[in-house]
Every structure is written in C-alpha cells, then in structure tokens.
A and B are shown apart, each in its own frame.
Chain A
Amino acid sequence: MNSFRIQTEVFRILKWALIVFLLIVTLFPFYYMIVMSFVPIQDLLRNPLALVPNFSQLTLDTYARVIASEGDGGFGFGRFMRNSAIVATAATLLTMLLSIPASYAMTRLKFAGRRQVSAMFLAVYMFPAIIIAVPVFVGFQVIGLGTTLVGLTIAYIALTVPVSVHMLRSYMLGLPESIDEAAMVDGATRWQIMRKITVPLSLPTIMSTALYSFMIAWNEFLFALLFLSAKPELWTVSLGLTRLADGQEVSRTILMAGSVLLTLPIVIMYGFAERWLTEGLTAGADKG
C-alpha cells in the first residue's frame, strides 16, 4: 500500500509539472512573437529580457509598415495575405468538390479498380512533397503554369486530396448503406442520394476536412518557394515572410509582425473548429 501511495503522489506531481511545462513551451513562443511585434527595435536590442512590454511605448507602426504596399514604403503583406487567401480558398473549395464524390464512390460503388484507387491514395503518403516537387516544378514550367497562382492551386489540391479522401471516407464508411438503399427504392439516383443524404449527414466531417485542407494550403511553403520566387507580386504570406527575412536590413520586429499576420487567420479558424479538427483527423486511427 505504501508504494501505491508514494507512486500516486509522485505521478500527481509529475502530471502537473508536465502540464505547466508543456503550456509554457507551447504558448511562450507565440506570446514572444506578439510582444516582439509591438516593441520598438531599440528596446529589444537594449534589453532582450524585457518580456513584458512597456505599454506607453507600444507601437502599431510596425504593422502599418508591414501591411502597406512597397510603393508606400511598406512590405506588401496586404497583398501577400490576399494571394494566400485566394489560393487557399480556391484549393479548399475545389478539393472538397472533387473529394466528396470520390469518397462517396469509394465507399458505395463497386467499380473496377476501386481497390487500386484506394491503394494509390495511400501510396501517395509515401512520396512527400520534395520528391514530387522536382518534376511538378519542371513540368509546370514547360506548360507555362510554373509561376502562376493557378499552378500553385493545382499543386495544393493534389497535396490535400489524399488526406481529405482519407478523412471523408473513414466517416462515410460508418454511415449505414441501408439509407442509400431505401432512397434508391424510392427512385433517387446516386447523385441525388449523395447530395441530399450523404452530404448533410457528413457535414461535421466535411467542415473539419475543409478546415484541414485550408490549413495545409495556407501554411504551405516549399511549392510556393519553387513556383513563385521570381514573381514578388504573386508571393504568399509564407513566402513573403521568408524573402523578408533574407533581407539583412529588415528588423526582427518587422519579421515578428509578419509572423503574427501569418499565424492569426489560422489560429482564429482553429479556435472555432478545434474539436471537429481533432475528431476528423484521428477518425479511424484506432482501426489501424
């Protein structure tokens, strides 16, 4: 009994120590990012340990400069954010438009090659971005899509489709097929069943999948780097921020303000849909 009590106590303390440690480790960098984006650069250089900003000295100038276009002496983040929003939204909508019917077909129809298609979507996980990036870049360059937002959107759709199909399919597998059969007896076509029954029933998963796709597209960096480096007017936020960082004369506070602008939209969306996201992602994980 004694060792039982000692262990219980030790584990209780360890548990709280771990929670506190993890909270500091996960939250502090974001806190630091926000604080650094508001302080004047001289303060940071003079005292790196000033972690609580002096409220009388807070400045919004950094943000004004970061968002303003280059013509107005800024860094063009307003435009970068617009580009990212266009690409991520278009990629998400198209991904959903393509992957909902595909997932439905894979769970309901017995077409030739169904297993091969399912296997192909899994195999795609084995070849992450860098291996695909080389020929996609060269190929798009050859057909003239190399340095366009359209080309980038197509690449993002291909990147998000496998995950989307996986998430949607795991969910749709759990919907009873007897509903489909009943509707079929009433004379509904496959398309009608999908639109009027399966989609409304899967709406929570569809939302979480869409959110996840948007997150992947908004956060993506490698393809943007390969595709758009040559054309500053098309840069996404991620790419714009790295180009900014390469310029030696750009102060770190500007960099942090840019990071906040890059992170904020994702964190806001995530705040609304955290539960859905985790449930959608881990669905079917216990089935292996």
Chain B
Amino acid sequence: MALPITLLVVAVIIVPIIWTFVLSFQGARYSDVARNGVFNPLTLSNYTDVLTSPGFWESLWVTVLYTAGTTIGSIVVGFAAALALRGAFRGRGAVRAALLLPYVAPVVAGAYVWKVMLNPQFGVINALGTTYLGWEQPIDFLGRAPYALLTVIVFEIWRYFPFAFMFFAAALTGLSGDIEEAALVDGATPWQKFWHVIAPQVMPVIALLTLLRLVMTFNKFDDIFLLTGGAAGTQVAAVRVYDQLVGSSDIGAASANAVLLALVLGAGLTLYLRLTRQKES
C-alpha cells in the first residue's frame, strides 16, 4: 500500500538528491547531460571553484543572517500573538483567521503588494514616511544594501509568524490550568507566571519550531527572488544556486553549491540538536 508513494518519492526526491551529488563532481552542461546521462568524466573542480569564490562565502553569510533573523523573529512574534489571543474575547475567531492570512496567501501576491507598498515613487510607506514622519527622502527599501536584507527578513517574519502562532496557540490550549491557578494563589505576577509557568511548558514547541523554521528558511528561494532578485546584498544561497543554474547554466557548480549547502545545514542541525539535548539532560 505504501509502495506507489515510496517509488514516487524515491523517483522525484531521493534520486534527484543523489544525482545532485553525482553532478557536483562533473563539469556538465545541459547538452552533456542530455547526451551522456550520468556518465560524464568526474572532477573536483566544481568544489574548488565554489569554495574559492568570494560570492559563495558572502551568500553563505547572508543566508545565515537571514535564517537566524527570520527564525527568531517569527517565533517571538508568533508566541506573543498566541499569548495575546489566549483569553477569550468577542471576535477572537475572526482575529485568529485574519492573522493567518499572510501564511495562506500565495507568496507571489504577498511579495508584489510589498513591492508596491515600498516603492520609492508611489508606495504608501514612503509617502507616509516623507509626509508624516519627516523622512528627508524616500527610502529604497528593496534596492539599497543595508535596508534590503532587513526588509526581506521583515517580510519573511510577516509571512511565517502565523505558522508559529498556530503551533503556540495549539500548545497553549493544551496546557492544564491547575498550575497557573496554583501560581496565582501563591501571588505570582503575570510576568512570573509567564516566565516560570508558561514558558517552560512550551519549550518543546519552541524547539520544534526552531528546527522547522531553520530548515525551511535556510533553503528559501521564492521570497527573496521575488522581492529583490538577490540584489543589494540579499543573494542568499538558494538564489545563488538558481543564478548558476539558469543564468550561466552551469549545472556542475550549481550542484556543488547545493551539496555544500546541505552539508552546512546538516552540520548546523547536528550542532543545534546537540546543544538542545545537552540542555535537557
């Protein structure tokens, strides 16, 4: 019963991963792959090229900043939102549904609204800034170096805090009220209640979300590609792989880059799991 699906996943996901690995050792272009399939001469030059190019290290650094910023940001905002919506009030269901919108909406639509809103000539944000906030001139949020990376991080937090919010909301409804009542009886302030009673209980959710968001953001492509195309200091690793593949149709370099990415991610995750496990024991 599980066979057809296993075959499909093997064919479309596992085989490509292995093939990426093989391609990364070949100096292949499309025409070579079409003619010779897997059997091209092997070489290490892709790796030496990738590792010695400054662009690779820069994109890796940008990716790390981007991943850390959005993971922390989306978890903090999602947690705060879940706490704010914890107690019942009129219209809570509607508010909850509204907060999930950025996550549900297609990335392309979200990215283009942001682009129009942030446009230096006719975007509403710059119009507000120059009219009411005393900005001397419009800010090119997506085209200038320090702003662009910050903007894509904020965009990503906007899109993924609802994801964290859903998980926290589910975890908070699952908490037993007894401990909190006991804390209240003992005279705990709201902050103490949060810090000593609620936070420790949702630690597993924070750990799970950190893991999920790290993996998903590290290889994120669409959002940055759509917002900046990788310009102005926002070329994350995934966008770089795309540029190598489509821009210069250098499959070998793109594959080597992808394999190195997977290795970095694997190393990061191992480190993360080690650290969290040490804390637990």
B10 proximity list for chain A (CB < 8 A): 120
Q: Are A222 and B221 in contact (CB under 8 A)?
A: yes
How many B residues face the partner with a CB closer than 8 A?
Answer: 98
Please tell me which one of the listed residues A8, A154, A194 contacts residue B12 in the complex, with CB atoms under 8 A apart: A154
In the complex the two chains form, is A263's CB within 8 Å of B205's CB? no
* Contact between chains at B116 and A129 (CB < 8 Å): no
User: For the complex, is B101 an interface residue (Cβ under 8 Å from A)?
Assistant: yes
Asked if residues B106 and A51 are in contact (CB atoms below 8 Å), the reply is no
User: Which A residues from 73 to 119 make CB contacts under 8 A with B?
Assistant: 98-99, 101-102, 104-106, 109, 111, 114, 117
**B170-A282 in contact (CB<8A):** yes
**Residue of B whose beta carbon sits closest to that of A252:** B116
Shortest A186–chain B CB gap in Å is 21
B246-276: CB near A (< 8 Å → 1, else 0) gives 1000010011001001100110010000000
Q: Smallest Cβ distance from B260 to chain A, in angstroms? A: 11
B198 interface contact, C-beta 8 A? no
Contact status of A285 and B265, CB under 8 A, knowing A26-B102, A44-B122 = no
A256 in contact with B112 given A22-B81, A263-B105, A278-B166 (CB within 8 Å): yes
Number of residues of chain A lying within 8 A (CB) of chain B = 95
Chain B neighbourhood of A174, CB < 8 A: none
Contact between A219 and B107, CB atoms less than 8 A apart: yes
Question: Could you say which of A138, A218, A255, A259 contacts B30, with CB atoms under 8 Å apart?
Answer: A138
- Assess whether B12 is in contact with A259, with CB atoms less than 8 Å apart: no
Residues of chain B within 8 A (CB-CB) of A135 are 15-17, 19-20, 23, 255
B-side binding surface: helix, strand, loop or mixed? helix
Cβ 8 A contact of A45, one of B100, B122, B216, B258: B122
Q: Give the residues in chain B near A11, CB-CB below 8 Å.
A: 190-191
Residue-wise, chain A 172-198 has the 8 Å CB interface mask toward B (1 for contact) of 000000000000000000100010000
Assess whether B255 is in contact with A134, with CB atoms less than 8 Å apart. Answer: yes
Closest 8 CB pairs of A and B: A158-B12, A105-B1, A135-B16, A48-B127, A128-B219, A259-B109, A101-B1, A282-B170
Q: Using CB atoms and an 8 Å cutoff, list the residues of chain A in contact with chain B.
A: 1, 3-4, 7-8, 11, 14-16, 18-19, 22-23, 25-27, 29-30, 32-33, 36, 44-45, 48-49, 51, 98-99, 101-102, 104-106, 109, 111, 114, 117, 120-121, 124-132, 134-139, 141-142, 154-155, 157-158, 161-162, 165, 190, 194, 215, 218-219, 221-222, 226, 237-238, 241-242, 245, 252, 255-256, 259-260, 262-263, 266-267, 270-271, 274, 278-279, 281-282, 285-286, 288
